Amino acid sequence: MATDTFWSDVDRHLVRYAGPGSFTGEIIDRAEGSFVFAEDGRRILDFTSGQMSAILGHAHPEIVETVRKQAAKLDHLFSGMLSRPVVDLARRLAETLPDPLEKALLLTTGAESNEAALRMAKLVTGKHEVVSFARSWHGMTQAAASATYSAGRKGYGPGAPGNFAIPVPSGADWQQQLDLAFDLIDAQSVGSLAACLVEPILSSGGILVPPPGYFPALQRKCRERGMLLILDEAQTGLCRTGTWYAFEHDGVVPDILTVSKTLGAGLPLAAVLTSAEIEEEAHERGYLFFTTHVSDPLPAAVGNTVLDVLIRDRLDERALQLGARLRTGLEEIATRHEAVGEIRGRGLLAGLELSGGGPDADKLGARVTQRCLELGLHMNIVQLPGMGGVFRIAPPLTAAESEIDLGLSILDEAIGDVSRS
């Protein structure tokens, strides 16, 4: 197919699902390791691990072999049937987690896992109200989208009833902020607070890391009100932040944990994990989440291979090492460019904020992103009103040090080029 025909078909037949600039101007032909390759042969370093998911890089040989073998043997079943890959993955996930998280529900996407978690929390508590961060992203299905505040709320009619937003903690007075937030929640609640659904590190909110002590304080607020704490580790789970789960850094254990993206290393796989007590209560009340691809053997087999590689190659330790190298490089870039503000994140999930304000500030991030792509680096930027935006940087955990350095070099050059122009 000619290139002009391809883009003509895009314009004619594809729904644009991400607002203005839904698609990059590249036709991607293949991917391997830390790189994707355009149809014209151009090599592009992937600093987002696909959609923040491919933690083992693209086309990891062990994932490829697992897919080949499992698809030929057992790919999909009636949702009430069980297979060994599913039970093995449930057990092995429980082994990576602290007590009492030992029960798993295997699904497909992050939105679906959050939907299932909220449905469970509402059934178990007998309540329906949900609290989330004001810059959250939890998915595009009804309950998940109703708990999402960073984008996508306008124009779609009412969300699920009983959803409340609290501020993302900032500064030394975060405890006062939290107290005030729940004073306002209590004033608005109809007495039916079921759950608090939050990310340990807000990604679409701009790689925001809540301060030490925040999550234990948030958990106390939940306990006081009989709410369940649900942590969404779609982007932070499975070693990316230097520990197996980001919540380990914060000294809390959630009532319900959701993982997705990284669990399938780029393939559609997600999980809800909870205690035997909560699962038993949900089951007694008739918990129903019977979907087409619940407990599918093919993605479960991939999840087991992901765990094999993470454990064998100690990728939690590697995320810390590469993350330190990445952060040092970003801090050096910040010293060379006035347009760069704060550097934040943890492990191999980093944020670089472009600052400055002014009428052209919102164009800055888009121009740097485009220049990076021209130079061979794929970047993702969260555009925040009145700011240049925040780059979300999440290379594969398998990236080489030279690839981290290459990405930093291209980003440095792109910021310089755009600043001079």
From the candidates 46, 112, 115, 232, which is the catalytic residue? 232
Candidate list 103, 135, 371, 392, residue with the active-site label: 392
The helix/strand/coil state of 231 is strand
DSSP 322-361: HHHHHHHHHHHHHHH-TTEEEEEEETTEEEEEE---STTH
Token couple for 106: 């295997």
Tokens representing 185? 């929640």
Is 417 assigned a catalytic role?
A: no
Q: Look-up: residue for tokens 């057992």?
A: 74
Q: Is 279 a catalytic residue?
A: no
Give yes or no for a cis peptide into 212 (omega within 30° of 0): no
Read off the DSSP letter of residue 136: -
Burial 364-378 (b: 16+ CB within 10 A, else e): bbbbbbbbbbeeebb
Cα separation, 134 vs 145, in Å, equals 12
Q: Of the residues 137, 316, 327, 383, which is catalytic?
A: 137
Q: Confirm whether 103 is a catalytic residue.
A: no
- The CA-to-CA distance between both ends of the chain, in Å, stands at 36
Kindly name the residue from 129, 225, 233, 235 that is annotated as catalytic: 235
Copy the structure tokens of residue 152.
């996508």
Annotated catalytic, 362? no
Q: Which amino acid is at 374?
A: E
CA angle, residues 396, 297, 319, in degrees to nearest 5 = 15
Among 103, 221, 261, 318, the one annotated catalytic = 261
- Which residues, at least 6 apart from 158, have a Cβ–Cβ distance to it below 8 Å? none
Q: Cβ(253)–Cβ(247) under 8 Å?
A: yes
Q: Say whether 261 is catalytic.
A: yes
Residue 398 in contact with residue 56, Cβ under 8 Å?
Answer: yes
In the residue annotation, 119 being an active-site residue is answered as no
Residues annotated as catalytic are 137, 199, 232, 235, 261, 392
